[in-house]
Structure 1
Amino acid sequence: MIIKKLLYLSLALISYAAKAQEYSVTSPNQKLKLAITASKNLSYRVDFNNKTIIQPSVLELQLVNGKTFGHSAVTKKTAKSVNNEIKPLYGTSSSYKNNYNELIIDFKGGYSLALRANNEGVAYRFIASLKDSITIKNEHFELNLDKDYSFTTLGRNKDYHGYETVYQTKTISKLDSFYACLPSVINVDNNIKVVVSETNLYSYPGMYLIKNNAKANSLIAKFPQYPLETKPGGYSNFNLHVKKTADYIAHTAGTRTFPWRVISITDDEKSLLNNPIVYLLADESAKDDYSWVKPGKVAWDWWNANTLQGVDFKSGVNTETYKYFIDFAAKNGIEYVNLDEGWSDQFNLFKLSDKINMPEIIAYARQKNVKLILWMVWYTLDRQLPEALDQFQKWNIAGIKVDFMDRDDQPVMEFYERVAREAAKRKLLVNFHGACKPTGLERKYPNVINYEAVYGLEQSKWDTVKPNHDTHLPFLRNFAGPMDYTPGATRNASIENFRPVYQRPMSMGTRCHELAKFVCFYAPLQMLADSPTDYEKETDMLNFLSQVPTVWDETIPLEGKLGEYLAVARRKGNTWYIAALTNEKSKEFDLSLPFLKGNQYTITYFEDGINADRVGTDYKKKTEVMTINQATVSDTNLPSANKTLHVKMQPGGGFVAVLKNEN
């Protein structure tokens, strides 16, 4: 009897194994492998250097009619390999290598699964090919690990949209009711980092990760439900808070692609400082002409409370103040001036403030060759969208700063694309604040030039932004795309002396820490947060900020450890910018610079002063000419014959070197 049972069990296992099929793609460098097993359900696993990192994990798309993408027989598979270059309109490099292997698996029931493996990461997405519209009840996405690893992320307890919070590191078992925003990183053994994100997110809710209470060492996806009822609330009623939801997450077209689920694995932590996988997987733009999109810097009014000194008028939201900002921008080669809250009624964009003369401001900016960007509440814009954008186009406004969405359910994600599309028709830039993380929209619509989605410098007006937080951002937040942190504080306080001041805010960390953000943080549209009259007192800082690029021809990660320190080199033309940041601890190291090709460079560097640990504004600036092949140099900070650069940072410190090729 026992033998019979064992025989039946063996036959059942053989039958199951025969039915289960594995399909896989491997990255061109052979380091990453994404494998799909199709049997009773669909599961995936991810290998790195021939070791399984993501254990078999179930994936499926659940429709409200009981139909499921993930339980059908395979009908066809199609493979292809691509090896080309993408030349973005702007980015961290003038071109991105786009080399991947792809497999599309068609299933009975009108759906497919696309698998892709780049050297930078692996990804999969569902593709639907049904005639009628469909309603998605839920998407099941697991991340099963072999241990209770630590997990570094942004997020909140029992709430979505925690992008404007600080990074936390917890073990998976301690996540409890924590809703983790993407990108997040799992810190695996042997210094391996697993970054999880998503891209190509259209007409679909954003994905979060929570602890999977059904399995140990496991994470599972969580999505905002479809909103049925909203009500104004939050700060000044600028948000639309969801009061009632449906029992599904999306209602959408039956023929479409769904978002890519992205997993990047590396044992070279610094490589996360320049990983374009989210951009590479995103839809490319239509063949429309976007040559009018111009990255650049912005003189910003709100953080410094429109405060000017030494002028003969009362500064504030008024015509005289904005004309001063425009003069400052024109004099220093700053392309844009932002008119933030106050230029109009927050709930009616056609009701202008009686404190400003908009035609006069517009005419003055045009005369000075400075472009204007206008701030607005998102649902006010949505209500007045075509008429408002038409008016901005007539005014010759360059762009809009759209704020306080603070949601990423399906209707709000549709709003993002609607604004991007309609603004592009009128040649308007879009800077999303109060936003979710970027998910590739800026590739499809290059006029989407920046996103906030960060606990940035604005928080220092009422809270603390620690250097430790800054040393997470280039690894994780910039992994998703551009980031409007809004750096540039002139009042730089040591860790002990920092305090929040709403009207005259400061930054925590040294002057060089603040300067280094302009190189270490990627922001095609980069705000200068402080007042023009404060910058005019700080000529070294102003000269640097006037010249530092916001987009780059080449980026090379040099050093880095998540949450501790980093160093990166970026090139624009013949000039290299090398910058470093540290957390609340001092840091000293040598950087190798083998990429330098010229024989002679003029090097200007900004280094923390010897007392910068007590006086945050203490710094040293020095300029010298250096010849690469000389045997010795007069200053230990400059590259020697073997092309190294010595970096020394105080607690909360930074470092910047500008190398101009004189050949």
Structure 2
Amino acid sequence: MKNKLTGLIVALLLSSSILSAQKTKDFDLKSQDGNITLHVVAGKKLVWSVQLKGKQIIAPSAMSLQLGNGDVLGDNAKVSSAKTEKINTTFKALNYKKTNVQDVYNELTLTCKNDFGVKFRVYNDGVAYRFFTKKKGEIVIKNEEANFNFTQDYKAFIPYMWDYRDGKIFNSSFEALYKETKISKFATDSLAFLPLMVDEGDNNKVVILEADLEDYPGMYLNLNDTHKGFMGVYAPYPLETKMGGYNNMNVIPTKRAEYIAKTNGTRSFPWRVVVISQSDKELLNNDMVQKLASPSRITDASWVKPGQAAWDWWNNWNITHVDFKAGINTPTYKYYIDFASANKISYIILDEGWSVEGDLSKVSPAINLKEIVDYGKQKHVDVILWATWSNIARQMDEIFPQYSKMGVKGFKIDFFDRDDQVVVASTYAIAKKAAEYHLMVDYHGIYKPTGIQKTYPNVIGFEGVKGMENYKWATEDQPRYAVSIPFIRMMAGPMDYTPGAMRNAIKANYHPVSSAPMSMGTRCNQLAMYVVFEAPFQMLADNPTIYMKEQECTDFITGVPTTTDETVALDGEVGEYAALARQKDGIWYVGAMTNWNSRQLTLDFSFLPEGNYKAVVFSDGINADRDATDYKKETKSIKSGDKLKIQLAPGGGWAARIEKIH
């Protein structure tokens, strides 16, 4: 009897121990407006889900960090503490679309046994989470499990990685139109890069992002086993490389490891983010990445000067009515400087060809760079130099001090075309080194921004967008793309789309011409891009000769500031049209764009403070559906609260500069 009783007690204790081990812990966190609820379950898996006003937005989705030693941080997680915090503050933003950013969220920090944890934040417009570890020495990250599950097979806007450099996956320009398709129809032979949008109906859109990406590979998305959701995929760590890709300008990994990162054991990992909108226009003025990025590491960034640049490559140095042979030479760049000076444009860019191939320390014999830089100084125009990432990574210790001393103000750095740990870490190293010499950097041929432009404010430009260079060779539907990216790609941060075409074509007349490119859509569509698209370092892509022939339009373009004090989303529908307003020093700028569908919009000017205003307006001409260069310039009187009907031609636009009448 005693043995039976002892056995029963042991069995009960074992059963209790098993039940205790299997017990889950649940946590709920709401946004401060009460509309969004995050639910976290720590059990066999660490799982998160999100509701908006009771509607399931993100279905239960597992997360974990898989280490090289076999540990899986998140599976069977033992939560040792849970701390919540309420934040309601405002911070100053530098070189951004607004001066003040409201930062309002509730935070849950789960600290777990095995020296790791997860931070969750719930904002009024989305949710973010990130892992952190507190381990000694270096750790190997074999993989990260990140899932974004949905309750239905919704429509998504998917930017596929398609142009593999040297035919190798994870080597891409990060430029793609959006494939609008059901989640379950995700391509089996590709991956998607971020941001990616999901349309959940009822005016609800979800945009998947990442923020504060540093010393870690960027996240791609693939279809997961639910066929109604996505999972994170990451480029493995590169072990061996060779030169290849486009014109042999890319560093192509030929061997990759079976892990994605080697990193410090005590650190925070990138934020995994979903932004949730209840109307499309909300996405035109979102600050999520800015709020999640690390603070500036430059003590005094007053020397960083955003602005516009006269750019040579897109227009193929095709200036005319001059008495010298146009091309990559000193007289041509002096001509660009004269144009920039006359129009108060801050910079010119010397794109590919200014240096000896493969050696940035040596200047092409056709270029007297010091003469060009000095000539620019006399005219109050500064010089930015183009370079490949491979050359910058190899030579920055030599050339940054060399060209900074000469008076060059920065570098446009191209052909990264990867976002594995090595490249991501390099973007921070370059920005830091450039800042030491008061050099700005414009990153091209690169993944989307994730907040480095806040951490290093000398990073003033990012491509990661299928921009206007494609008009030189492509026939794709750019007008639809141009009214999709403000709601999707621009959520990640600034984008160097390079607008400003003065040769404009309707759909029937458009054809790609590399040496004398034109744009799809109207002249006013191009003007509106300077207001709608966020770009602290903004291009004038066409050539000076044409701009001088089109001085009215040039005057409008060069009058639009590249950073603003305030941004107001006016109206929009992803893929259809977009309209927003920006304010700098009390002057307002309004832009509206449409796809190939003509449409009438009503703009509400309630955003204007009280008073009477004069608006200089550029609108599509009555014949812009036949000749895309047709436009009408007029002056209108406007006051706060006015509602103005505007007409947009196919591929059209509308732009205005609005000043208070004193």
Tell me which of 164, 183, 186 is aligned to 2:195: 183
Report the secondary structure of 1:651's partner residue.
coil
Partner in structure 2 of residue 557 of structure 1: 569
Partner in structure 1 of residue 551 of structure 2: 539
Partner in structure 2 of residue 23 of structure 1: 27
Deviation at 1:190, TM superposition (A): 1.3
> How far, CA to CA, are the matches of 1:277 and 1:233 in structure 2?
36
Partner in structure 2 of residue 279 of structure 1: 290
Aligned AA (1:51): K
The answer to whether structure 1 residue 41 and structure 2 residue 45 are counterparts is yes
> How far, CA to CA, are the matches of 1:560 and 1:12 in structure 2?
57
Task: Tell which deviates more after alignment, 293-302 or 156-165.
Answer: 156-165
Partner in structure 2 of residue 228 of structure 1: 239
User: Residues 479-558 of structure 1 correspond to what in structure 2 (within 5 A)?
Assistant: 479-558=491-570
The answer to whether structure 1 residue 270 and structure 2 residue 275 are counterparts is no
Partner in structure 1 of residue 650 of structure 2: 651
Q: Does the CA contact (< 8 Å) of 1:347 and 1:377 recur in 2?
A: no
Partner in structure 2 of residue 83 of structure 1: 88
Tell me which of 45, 64, 67 is aligned to 1:63: 67
The answer to whether structure 1 residue 111 and structure 2 residue 116 are counterparts is yes
> How far, CA to CA, are the matches of 1:461 and 1:125 in structure 2?
41
Task: Tell which deviates more after alignment, 477-486 or 149-158.
Answer: 149-158
Q: Does the CA contact (< 8 Å) of 1:154 and 1:162 recur in 2?
A: no
Deviation at 1:25, TM superposition (A): 2.3
Q: Does the CA contact (< 8 Å) of 1:200 and 1:441 recur in 2?
A: yes
Deviation at 1:287, TM superposition (A): 5.6
> How far, CA to CA, are the matches of 1:16 and 1:276 in structure 2?
42
Q: Does the CA contact (< 8 Å) of 2:38 and 2:51 recur in 1?
A: yes
Q: Does the CA contact (< 8 Å) of 2:578 and 2:593 recur in 1?
A: yes
User: Residues 620-639 of structure 1 correspond to what in structure 2 (within 5 A)?
Assistant: 620-626=632-638, 628=639
| CA deviations over 1:190-215 (Å, ceiling 9, x no partner) | 12101100000001000011111x22
Partner in structure 2 of residue 405 of structure 1: 416
Partner in structure 2 of residue 305 of structure 1: 316
Tell me which of 92, 105, 108 is aligned to 2:97: 92
Task: Tell which deviates more after alignment, 285-294 or 13-22.
Answer: 13-22
Q: Does the CA contact (< 8 Å) of 2:594 and 2:650 recur in 1?
A: yes
Tell me which of 389, 403, 427 is aligned to 1:392: 403
| CA deviations over 1:342-393 (Å, ceiling 9, x no partner) | 1002310012101011121111111111111000011111111111111111
User: Residues 302-341 of structure 1 correspond to what in structure 2 (within 5 A)?
Assistant: 302-341=313-352
The answer to whether structure 1 residue 146 and structure 2 residue 151 are counterparts is yes
Partner in structure 1 of residue 258 of structure 2: 247
Report the secondary structure of 1:77's partner residue.
strand
Tell me which of 93, 98, 106 is aligned to 1:101: 106
TM-score (norm 2): 0.94
Partner in structure 2 of residue 137 of structure 1: 142
Aligned AA (2:110): I
Partner in structure 1 of residue 8 of structure 2: none
Q: Does the CA contact (< 8 Å) of 1:516 and 1:656 recur in 2?
A: yes
User: Residues 115-126 of structure 1 correspond to what in structure 2 (within 5 A)?
Assistant: 115-126=120-131
Q: Does the CA contact (< 8 Å) of 2:220 and 2:232 recur in 1?
A: yes
Q: Does the CA contact (< 8 Å) of 2:618 and 2:656 recur in 1?
A: yes
| CA deviations over 1:455-491 (Å, ceiling 9, x no partner) | 1011111113520010011111110000000000010
> How far, CA to CA, are the matches of 1:570 and 1:617 in structure 2?
25
Aligned AA (2:347): Y
> How far, CA to CA, are the matches of 2:424 and 2:150 in structure 1?
31
Report the secondary structure of 2:137's partner residue.
coil
> How far, CA to CA, are the matches of 1:404 and 1:345 in structure 2?
17
Task: Tell which deviates more after alignment, 511-520 or 538-547.
Answer: 538-547
Partner in structure 2 of residue 380 of structure 1: 391
Q: Does the CA contact (< 8 Å) of 1:346 and 1:376 recur in 2?
A: no
Deviation at 1:598, TM superposition (A): 3.5
Partner in structure 2 of residue 450 of structure 1: 461
TM-score (norm 1): 0.94
Partner in structure 2 of residue 635 of structure 1: none
Q: Does the CA contact (< 8 Å) of 1:598 and 1:662 recur in 2?
A: no
> How far, CA to CA, are the matches of 1:350 and 1:206 in structure 2?
31
Q: CA RMSD in A?
A: 1.7
The answer to whether structure 1 residue 462 and structure 2 residue 473 are counterparts is yes
- State the number of aligned residues: 640
Task: Tell me: CA distance 1:324–1:529, structure 2 relative to 1, closer, same or farther (3 Å).
Answer: same
> How far, CA to CA, are the matches of 1:598 and 1:84 in structure 2?
27
The answer to whether structure 1 residue 156 and structure 2 residue 168 are counterparts is no
Identity across the alignment (%): 44
Q: Does the CA contact (< 8 Å) of 1:346 and 1:377 recur in 2?
A: no
Q: Does the CA contact (< 8 Å) of 2:173 and 2:446 recur in 1?
A: no
Task: Tell me: CA distance 1:17–1:226, structure 2 relative to 1, closer, same or farther (3 Å).
Answer: closer
The answer to whether structure 1 residue 172 and structure 2 residue 183 are counterparts is yes
Q: Does the CA contact (< 8 Å) of 2:442 and 2:460 recur in 1?
A: yes
Partner in structure 2 of residue 53 of structure 1: 57
Deviation at 1:306, TM superposition (A): 1.0
Report the secondary structure of 1:210's partner residue.
strand
Q: Does the CA contact (< 8 Å) of 1:162 and 1:181 recur in 2?
A: no
Gaps of 5+ in 1: 1-7, 629-638
| CA deviations over 1:424-480 (Å, ceiling 9, x no partner) | 111111100001000000010000001000110111111135200100111111100
Q: Does the CA contact (< 8 Å) of 2:298 and 2:457 recur in 1?
A: no
Partner in structure 1 of residue 582 of structure 2: 570
Q: Does the CA contact (< 8 Å) of 1:33 and 1:48 recur in 2?
A: yes
The answer to whether structure 1 residue 361 and structure 2 residue 372 are counterparts is yes
Aligned AA (1:80): E
Task: Tell which deviates more after alignment, 124-133 or 571-580.
Answer: 571-580
Task: Tell me: CA distance 1:13–1:174, structure 2 relative to 1, closer, same or farther (3 Å).
Answer: farther
Q: Does the CA contact (< 8 Å) of 1:429 and 1:447 recur in 2?
A: yes
Partner in structure 2 of residue 473 of structure 1: 485
> How far, CA to CA, are the matches of 2:33 and 2:534 in structure 1?
27
Q: Does the CA contact (< 8 Å) of 2:298 and 2:435 recur in 1?
A: no
Task: Tell me: CA distance 1:477–1:346, structure 2 relative to 1, closer, same or farther (3 Å).
Answer: farther
Q: Does the CA contact (< 8 Å) of 1:144 and 1:217 recur in 2?
A: yes
> How far, CA to CA, are the matches of 2:355 and 2:129 in structure 1?
45
The answer to whether structure 1 residue 596 and structure 2 residue 612 are counterparts is no
> How far, CA to CA, are the matches of 2:515 and 2:196 in structure 1?
34
Report the secondary structure of 2:141's partner residue.
strand
> How far, CA to CA, are the matches of 1:294 and 1:572 in structure 2?
15
